[in-house]
Chains A and B, each alone.
Chain A
Amino acid sequence: MSYNEIFQHARASGRTLLTEVEAKAVLEEIGVPVTKTRLARSKEEAVRLAGELGYPVVLKIASADVVHKSDIGGVKLGLHSAEAVGAAYDEILANVKQAQPSARVDGVSVQNQARPGTEVVLGMSKDPQFGPVLMFGLGGILVEVLKDVAFRIVPLTKRDAAQMVREIKAYPVLEGYRGMEPAHIPSLEDTLLKLSEFAEQAPEVREMDLNPVLAYKDGLLAVDARIVLEDAG
């Protein structure tokens, strides 16, 4: 499905929030590397998809109603076998049912467990006067507590993207502080430019949140993503 079809499908289902699987399909289409993610509607399907994707895998609850998935036991990491996947599937559904009985559940998403990297956040939101604006920062508490983030108005030039990545105070972390794996800066810049182009091409997208994106020395991988569409019009 092209992203336009994904948007139409979501709207036809009465949603402006895309599912994780949909959001990642959109990102994949615009050239942003994402962890391979499939939707399983049954335990058997989850086990089969895990085998196809290759272990280890991560299982996450697939529900538009569940916002903080890991807080209620809706995420299981580091699953190395069919048995572990099967057990995790049951456990996730049970946890969600207990914590949020009214949540509408599509199933469980199955995805490759990404190897650890530096967590960064990329996002797009809209300013009432200046339109789409991109955000970049380090993930985790740095973005939430320190507000160590950089903003640019769409469309970005190459120079804007380069400055944006270097503008955050935590930039030395991306350069590989104290033996940490450095981040591949050109991939971060390139991804920002792709998001900028996409924001221009798809004005029906109201908000994007790629959080976290794992930055590696040779590239990056978006592990979770949220895309919200404008209200129907």
Chain B
Amino acid sequence: MTNSNPKNRQERLDRVFNPQTVVVVGSKKIDEYNWLKNMSTFTGKLYSVQIDPNEIPGIEELGITNFKSLKEVPEPIDFVLCAVPRPVTPRIVQDCIDVGVGGVVLYTSGFAETATEDGIRLQEAITKMAREADLMLVGPNCMGIYNPKVGVRFGQDQVAGVSGHVSFISQSGSQGSGFGLECQAQGLNVCKVVSFGNGVVLDSPDYLEYFAQDPECQVITMYVEGTRDGRRFFKTLRDVAQRKPVLVWKGGQTPDSARATRSHTASLAVSSTIWDALIRQTGAIPVHGLEETVDMAKALLFTKPFTGARLGLLAVAGGHSVEIADAFSMQGLNVPALTEASYEKLASFFSVIGGSFRNPLEGGGNMASEEKVIDILRILEEDATIDAIVVEMGMFGRRNLNVLERRVKTLVEFKQITTKPLWSCWSGGVTRVDPEAQQKAALELQEGGVPVFGSITRAARAMGKFVRYSRWLQEQ
């Protein structure tokens, strides 16, 4: 934590997350000017600082103005990305302080996480400098900030020029990258990602507070291995989770994995009993792994809380209708019989040859007609015994992608008239739908407000957790 008051800190962090001027310090030919290329999508002004005469021509070839020092840059600097060798970092940090930059990301690693005397001493020196000067310092040993809206990135595969409503706070760079890319692949736009590494000045509670008040962020997700100030983490998480949903993925939950967190981010082990208590007390939603993190983010972004657990389930084929009923009822959710009125309406048009409408509904041949699909969904909408609807998308090879397109349209249209939560899911596995078509369909569905999950089981797990969270909210 820095010395500045919280309100002031939010504004200053906002400047760092939404910069107008970015300077990359120490970009090099050896990694093909990776950091400058990461920032090539940046919508503001981008400069380079590099003193090595061998490196400068390559930078200038990219069309980027290079300076010998931060002090030479002729305008206010909002964001510095520092990728210099470890021994040079104190000098750059001092320049940042002298120039009065908005903030600095220290990509450089080799500090306390190495458990070497040199690394620890250097980290302490940088920390002391930054804290005394109240410098917004992200890292060290991190990837920094990804804000697709303004094109600040830490990877060239990251998409820019889009904006979403889920942010990710990550103690790990690779998990931070993974989250952004996975969201992209699943048709979900990201608000902001921060990879904060050793978190010596700005720690996870600072980012929690920032995203809590960021109007663009609706759901906060985080990957943490440890925290410098456990009590502050606990109190901040408890406070923020009352205002916005917070998904927490804790790395290092077993003695074996805790050994890895020690060398990765120099984090101490937390006993599972204490961690469980913390989750219960704060109201944060515990998740594990990238899939569950993204799934729960979708659930929270596209659905208002609901506590009713009676589901209308529609699958295409028989086996999947059994699987979908198994998966959701195993989560403690109910799959009730429909009303007689619903059954009478269904019987009037539903072909039961290769199909069934008892709930779960096996669409079978009826799914060949989108009119019938809409009629089935309308009946579920009108049935008072049903609180929410889940539709399994079916299997789509290259030959029937037109059916997928029509189905997506049907669901998005139905979403506009239904008052009930509407979720969808793929049937699971990686071979059943053409990947490109799947990504396009996911984007369209989710832009239409219908979350789509990677498999029946993943949808069911997410809904079980979502309903438990909704009940917790109701008790508040």
- Nearest CB of A to B285, in Å: 17
Binds A, one of B155-163, B211-219, B267-275, B404-412: B267-275
| Contacts from A to B (Cβ < 8 Å) | 127-131, 133, 150-153, 156-157, 159-160, 163
Question: Is A163's CB under 8 angstroms from B280's CB?
Answer: yes
Pick the contact of A130: B230, B276, B475 (CB < 8 A).
B230
| Contacts from B to A (Cβ < 8 Å) | 226-227, 230-231, 234, 268, 270-271, 273-274, 276-278, 280-281, 475
Question: Is B234's CB under 8 angstroms from A128's CB?
Answer: no
Question: Is B227's CB under 8 angstroms from A129's CB?
Answer: yes
Question: Is B268's CB under 8 angstroms from A153's CB?
Answer: no
- Nearest CB of B to A54, in Å: 41
Question: Is A130's CB under 8 angstroms from B273's CB?
Answer: no
Question: Is B277's CB under 8 angstroms from A152's CB?
Answer: yes
- Nearest CB of A to B228, in Å: 9
Residues of A within 8 A of B281 (CB): 152-153, 156-157, 160
- Nearest CB of B to A156, in Å: 8
Which of A128, A152, A153, A157 has the largest count of B CB atoms less than 10 A from its CB?
A: A153
Question: Is A130's CB under 8 angstroms from B274's CB?
Answer: yes
Question: Is B273's CB under 8 angstroms from A151's CB?
Answer: yes
| Secondary structure dominating the interface of B | helix
Q: How far is the CA of A131 from the CA of B278 in the complex (A)?
A: 12
Residue of B nearest to A156 (CB): B281
A-B contact pairs, 9 of them (CB 8 A): A127-B271, A127-B274, A129-B227, A130-B234, A130-B278, A150-B277, A152-B277, A152-B280, A153-B274
Residues of A within 8 A of B231 (CB): 130-131
Question: Is B226's CB under 8 angstroms from A129's CB?
Answer: yes
- Nearest CB of A to B282, in Å: 9
Residue of A nearest to B283 (CB): A159
Residues of B within 8 A of A153 (CB): 234, 274, 277-278, 281
Residues of B within 8 A of A152 (CB): 277, 280-281
Residue of A nearest to B228 (CB): A129
Residue of A nearest to B268 (CB): A129
Known interface pairs A129-B268, A151-B277, A160-B281; 13 further A-B residue pairs with C-beta atoms within 8 A, sorted by A's residue number = A127-B274, A128-B268, A129-B227, A129-B230, A130-B231, A130-B274, A130-B278, A151-B276, A152-B281, A153-B234, A159-B475, A160-B280, A163-B280
A131-B230 CB under 8 A given contacts A153-B278, A153-B281:
yes
